[in-house]
Amino acid sequence: MNYFFSQILLDLQDRISQEVPEIRYTDQNLGQLAKLGDTDQPPLAYPAVLIDFPNTVYSEMATNLQIGAVQISVLLVLDTYSQTWHNAPLEVREKGLEYLEIEQKLYKSLQGWNLDYFAPLSRTAIRSQNNNDVGLRVRELTFTTEYEDWTMNDDNFKEVKIAFNGSLKTN
């Protein structure tokens, strides 16, 4: 794949599946958490991760060469139903908070990670989205990275072969 967003999505999926095997489903966020019906849940295997690129700001580096500052939304979706209130037994509360351990593992797998075409990821925010209509525990981790977009110059570069058939004389 040559397009940045396609390639980084594939690479993020690979990274998450290798480093956080507890995640059972990783996909791009296409609105899977939208309300489906009164009793329906999204067609996901939990825990799930949904990835999106909500905002990218570009600046010019040179003619037709830009640097993109990319925001990456990593939505962690869980269907945990264990109690966490203070009078529940400790083992029940710990079970209810296991999602936070998965969240930390997800963060550790992505923070500072990079490949040769983008800068290391940096976490900039975490927020809960517990006002969803499907009764799931949702945490959004936001990362940023940068990449250089050379696509407008791709057609301007031609492969040139230089052959030397002479000799070099030294005096």
* 163 lies in some domain: no
* 165 lies in some domain: no
CATH assignment of the domain containing 114: 3.30.2000.10
* 62 lies in some domain: yes
* 59 lies in some domain: yes
Structure tokens at 37: 């019906």
**29-42 pLDDT, tens digit each:** 998 887 665 556 67
Res. 161 pLDDT band, cuts 50 70 90: confident
Strands 25-28, 48-62: pairing is parallel
**137-146 pLDDT, tens digit each:** 889 999 999 9
Rounded mean pLDDT, 152-159 = 62
Structure tokens at 82: 């264990």
Nearest CA to 49 out of 103, 3, 126, 116 is that of 103
Q: What pLDDT is recorded for position 88? A: 81
**Total domains in the fold of the chain:** 1
Is residue 6 pLDDT above 70, yes or no? yes
Is residue 163 pLDDT above 80, yes or no? no
Exposure b/e, 28-48, CB count within 10 A at least 16 = b: ebeebbeeeeeeeebebebbb
Burial-class residue 146 by CB neighbours within 10 Å (0-12, 13-18, 19+): middle
For the chain, percent of residues with pLDDT exceeding 70: 87
Q: Edge-to-edge strands of the sheet including 25-28?
A: 25-28, 48-62, 65-78, 137-149, 122-128
* 162 lies in some domain: no
